[in-house]
Amino acid sequence: MTDLKPSFFTLLLGASLSVSSAMALASPAISADYVALVDPVVQQQPEALMTEGLEAQFSANQSLSDGWLSDSAAITVAHENDALTDDLDTQNWAMGVEFSLLLPQQKNALQGVSEAYQAQLSVQQDYLSWLASGKVRQLVWQYSKAEISLHLAESALKKSLELQENVKMKVEVGDSTQLDLLMAEKFVLEQQALVSQKQGLLVLAKKQLHFWTQTTELPNDITEVHHNAWNPQTHPKLRWMQSAYEVSSAQLSQQKTLNKSGPSFFVGAQKDQNRVDENTFLFIEVSVPIGASPSNQVAIAEKQQAQQMQKMALLQAQQALEQSVLAAEQTITINENNQRLAQQQNHIAQETLQLAEQSYQLGESSIQSLLLIQKSALEAALNLELASANLEEAIANANQVKGYALNAMLEKGKQ
């Protein structure tokens, strides 16, 4: 009579715990291969298009503040001739250039806007890297959990095929009925369908990873150290939103300086002639506006509203992040408890499976009971592996919420 082999779930559990223990003892720094996935995502994400616009805004405001003209100069040509109205042969020719100047406070305000855009550009890359880190974390853990599920499904299929072969041999020697073999074959078909489903999920995860990173290979190590602390002042998203608020404040200040326009100048030459004499002279005209511009009050009100909207968005984002940090930490605690429970449940499930295999071998239990217990053991092993992965993913998500970009974590680890 053929003996059933030791449960693969027991071996799998031992291997899993050994790997987890080794990882915990080693406390590895974040993997450079893992961090390398960030740059391709930065280039792919739509938010990267903001950089070009910010650079254009910085350059335009800087160029305007470096000069003195508030608008483009205009050339004026004028001619007077009395040929149609008189016979004195009087003619006048005039040509000049008209231009407006910026006031010193207007130049300073434009410089302030330029500096605000420059400051926003300085935090733009950190913000993009943080956004890309969130996408990378999502992709790799989706891939990893799909891989775990497929691996366990394939192992379960292998075990079910071994059981089917053993039942077939028992039927041949008369120790089991044909119904037992049919039940074992049905279980094999269920496991084959499960493998096919898990393969599809893994293929999808690979395609999504390739779309964003141009690779289908998962880094060997995607675990992260749990960072407990976080600082709103250094959070990439809040820094970026603060810089946007500072841009709107600078734009408001610049708009207020337009209440009073700078002086306008007209510089040119004029030639007057008739039958008797001819005169040519140079002239300059200066126009100085008085009072405030009534229409500019509407633009100021609009800039004030834009500034308040930016301030409101910044406060809302900070409050949302504070709530998200609390939720992320609670998720870690929940997953730690789930992992402990999954370990206990898996231990019981594997012991139960060993006893069930022995009972079936001795003819003390039915194939139905063995298959149910084997299915339960499969679920327990899968739950344990996924519980461990969910805990590591929760740590990664908490780091993301707190503003720890992957490349920043690598640089910090090198220090």
Domain assignment present for 124: no
Domain assignment present for 3: no
Band of pLDDT at residue 6, cut at 50, 70 and 90: very low
Question: CA 207 to CA 215: how far, in whole Å?
Answer: 9
Place of tokens 């640089």: 411
- Tally of domains in the chain: 1
Band of pLDDT at residue 270, cut at 50, 70 and 90: confident
Domain assignment present for 200: yes
Band of pLDDT at residue 241, cut at 50, 70 and 90: very high
Alpha helices in 27-103 (DSSP H): 32-35, 38-44, 50-66
Decide if pLDDT at 173 tops 50: yes
Q: Determine the pLDDT at residue 108.
A: 86
Angle of CA points 213, 214, 220, to nearest 5°: 65
Phi, psi of 24 (to 5 degrees): -65, -40
Alpha helices in 272-366 (DSSP H): 296-361
Average pLDDT, the chain: 83
Higher pLDDT, 281 or 83: 281
pLDDT in tens, 100-148: 777 778 888 888 888 888 888 889 999 999 999 999 999 999 999 999 9
Question: What dihedral angle (degrees, nearest 10) is formed by the CA atoms of 192, 197, 199, 203?
Answer: 160
Contact criterion met (CB below 8 Å) for 377 and 30 = no
Question: CA 213 to CA 193: how far, in whole Å?
Answer: 30
pLDDT in tens, 25-42: 334 468 889 999 999 999
pLDDT in tens, 341-386: 999 998 999 999 889 888 878 777 788 888 888 888 888 888 899 9
Contact criterion met (CB below 8 Å) for 388 and 19 = no
Band of pLDDT at residue 84, cut at 50, 70 and 90: low
Q: Is 118 exposed, middle or buried (0-12, 13-18, 19+ CB in 10 A)?
A: middle
Per DSSP, the three-state class of 224 is coil
Domain assignment present for 272: no
The residue count of the chain comes to 415
CATH number at residue 186: 1.20.1600.10
The one-letter amino acid code at 22 reads: A
Q: Determine the pLDDT at residue 255.
A: 85
Domain assignment present for 100: no
State what percent of residues in the chain have pLDDT above 90: 41
Decide if pLDDT at 413 tops 80: no
Domain holding 23, by residue range, is 8-51+130-256+307-414
Question: CA 241 to CA 237: how far, in whole Å?
Answer: 6
Per DSSP, the three-state class of 79 is strand
pLDDT in tens, 294-338: 778 888 899 999 999 999 999 999 999 999 999 999 999 999 999
Contact criterion met (CB below 8 Å) for 127 and 120 = no
Per DSSP, the three-state class of 101 is strand
Domain assignment present for 348: yes
pTM value?
A: 0.78
Give, as one character, the DSSP assignment of residue 48: G
Domain assignment present for 229: yes
Domain assignment present for 168: yes
Phi, psi of 233 (to 5 degrees): -70, -25
Higher pLDDT, 298 or 196: 196
